[in-house]
Structure 1
Amino acid sequence: MPEEPAENISGGPDGGGIESAFEPSPDPATRAEAVVDRLGDIYWQKAYGGQDAFECLVRTVLSQNTSDVASQPAHDALMARYGEGGEEWEDDLAVSLADAVRDELAETIASAGLYNQKSKTLIRLADRIVEEYGGAEGFDEFVTGGDPAEVRSTLLDMKGVGPKTADCVLLFSGGRGGVFPVDTHVHRIARRMGLAPPDADHEGVRECLEQDVPPEKCGFGHTAMIQFGRDYCKARKPACLDDPEACPMADRCDQVGVYPDTGEVVDPREASDVAD
């Protein structure tokens, strides 16, 4: 199995955005903010916004249930074929994908996994965006200029778009502050560290983080927490299991569901110290 890339490329120059940094607070207002500040010192920092909304949606659909190392080549192949200058280009990416032959699109994005399902999703989304917004440009205007709550609600109404996908479009295209997308890494880490209740679902974790992390730091927190999950706070073998000092966040973590004494790791909601 190929290794994850060294940098999370969801944002920043390699993801179509711009690189930036933020200043950690000398006196964080919440524990979650303190965690994000420290992660910001460890990982590559980015600013958000500036990506084309439909291409961002495409990229995020391709990333569902897979890693950057698998989804990035699929995105590049799709853009080479259906994007500007590609053999299937029709002056607009949404129009190009709406008219795509599904089997050919599936073959093009095969490296992303679940390519049959994802090709159907992309064509269906492209059809709707062409019908409702006239194409990628009109959709981009809606995402970047519309009310964030309305944009999120509209995205969630699209079959194949879940909360994480909708929030990534708001964050990476719309540049919306206060949006903290929750993937499997963020969901696990926030509960394990005690930043959200052990039994919180993805939406519950999102609500906790967006409440406790300043709006301008949510994007940084999202990508840095993903990388932290890949490097240290892994699902089955977190770094603290063998050596508490191996984790740079050890003093900020409640270790919910992690038992170094026995070597056991369980989902936080299944932890023995969680009240029924």
Structure 2
Amino acid sequence: MADEPSKNVSGGADGGGVGTRFESSDPDTRAAAVVDALGERYWQKAYGGRDAVPCLVRTILSQNTSDTASQPAFDALLARYDDESDLAATLAAADHDELADTIAGAGLYNQKARSIIRAAEEIVADFGDAAAFDRFVREGDADEVRDRLLDMRGVGPKTADCVLLFAGGQDGVFPVDTHVHRIARRMGLAPPTADHEEVRAALEESVPGEKCGFGHTAMIQFGREYCTARKPACLDGPEACPLSDLCDRVGVSPETGEVVDPAETGSS
């Protein structure tokens, strides 16, 4: 099993959570077998432990951009606003233009600055401070926490699920980003036309709850290294992909080299 990279979607060794090992024998579903195989190739980790407000902000900044762009923006935000006082209160009182300028490298900075300020305002109004919001995310009912996060403007399903996973340490949470959405449908773990929420439901139903966290991060790593959007490794032959025997290759034709979104295949 590989060591966790220092920089990845989970934040590496400093991103919270604890390295661990899970049983991989006799998976009940193909999705569970895929996650077990990913766990053998990459890292297995029980997530949780991040502070909820920085986790929420970090995930908002990651929307529609790469880690390469969003991480420096997050670092700049913390350098300017995280002065050991209450981060939620500080961001709720932040000047929009100043915040937007600080996070400009993350793209869509005006929109993201508005989302961050509004979320911080709601946290202060509804919970009082960042510490109380932390307790709600870590100790509250997962469905209730998710619904409250989704009520915040600018917070979508992936953002809410990342907060539940990385800050709350909630079992059974499998956030779906573009990599997970593509791979799950391409492999046949979810219907070809499934949207992000339908993919999430399929994976959370099929993968043991304690394995959903590392399944999410490892599947993203796999998408970056092997199952890319335009040139998946299987185009070079089944031996080029370590998960070939578990994959339906929906939308991928090694014979012709054609790669399309699974939804365009007409499969049901």
TM-score range, shorter chain: over 0.9
Partner of 2:106: 112
2:133 to 136, 139, 147: 139
- What displacement does 1:27 show? 1.0
Q: What CA distance in whole angstroms lies between the structure 2 residues aligned with 1:9 and 1:196?
A: 22
- Displacement of 1:116 in angstroms is 1.1
In structure 1, the partner of 2:215 is 221
Cα gap change, 1:6 to 1:52, in 2 (>3 Å): closer
Aligned residues: 264
Checking the alignment, whether the CA contact within 8 Å between 2:6 and 2:12 is kept in structure 1 is: no
How far 1:6 moved relative to its partner?
7.2
In 2, the alpha carbon distance for the partners of 1:69 and 1:44 equals: 21
CA distance in 2, matches of 1:9, 1:207: 21
Residue identity opposite 1:196 in structure 2: A
SS at match of 2:192: coil
Correspondence for 1:258? 252
Tell me how far apart the structure 2 counterparts of residues 18 and 150 of structure 1 sit (CA, whole Å): 22
**Local SS of the residue matching 2:248:** coil
TM-score (norm 1): 0.92
TM-score normalised according to structure 2 size: 0.95
Letter in 2 for 1:53: A
CA distance in 1, matches of 2:53, 2:7: 23
- Structure 1 residues 171 and 41, CA gap change in structure 2 (3 angstroms): same
1:232 maps onto 2:226 in alignment = yes
Give the Cα separation in 1 of the matches to 2:197 and 2:65.
20
Moved more, 240-249 or 92-101: 240-249
Aligned to 1:13: 13
What is the CA–CA distance in structure 1 between the aligned matches of 2:241 and 2:83, rounded to whole Å? 44
From 86, 89, 98, give the equivalent of 2:92. Answer: 98
Q: Does 1:196 align with 2:204?
A: no
Asked if 1:49 is matched to 2:43, the reply is: no
Q: Distance in 2 between matches of 1:236 and 1:74?
A: 28
Q: Which aligned runs of 4 or more in structure 1 are off by greater than 6 angstroms?
A: none
1:69 CA displacement: 1.4
Alpha-carbon distance, 1:200 to partner: 0.8
Once residues 216 and 53 of structure 1 are traced to their aligned partners in structure 2, the CA distance between those partners, rounded to angstroms, is 20
- Structure 1: 5+ residue stretches without partners: 86-90
Residues 134-173 of structure 1 correspond to what in structure 2 (within 5 A)? 134-173=128-167
**Alignment-mate amino acid for residue 8 of structure 1:** N
Unaligned runs of at least 5 residues, structure 2: none
Q: How far, CA to CA, are the matches of 1:68 and 1:45 in structure 2?
A: 21
> How far, CA to CA, are the matches of 1:271 and 1:193 in structure 2?
13
Aligned equivalents of 1:259, 1:34: Cα separation in 2: 23
The answer to whether the Cα contact below 8 Å between 2:192 and 2:250 also exists between their aligned partners in 1 is: yes
- Structure 2 CA distance for aligned equivalents of residues 242 and 19 of structure 1: 36
CA shift for structure 1 position 187 = 0.5
User: Does structure 2 conserve the Cα–Cα contact (< 8 Å) formed by 1:11 and 1:48?
Assistant: no
Does structure 2 conserve the Cα–Cα contact (< 8 Å) formed by 1:12 and 1:47? Answer: no
RMSD: 1.4
Shift of 1:11: 4.6
CA distance in 1, matches of 2:101, 2:128: 27
**Partner Cα distance (2:21, 2:119) in 1:** 35
Which residue does 1:88 correspond to in 2?
none
CA distance in 2 between partners of 1:55 and 1:225 (Å): 24
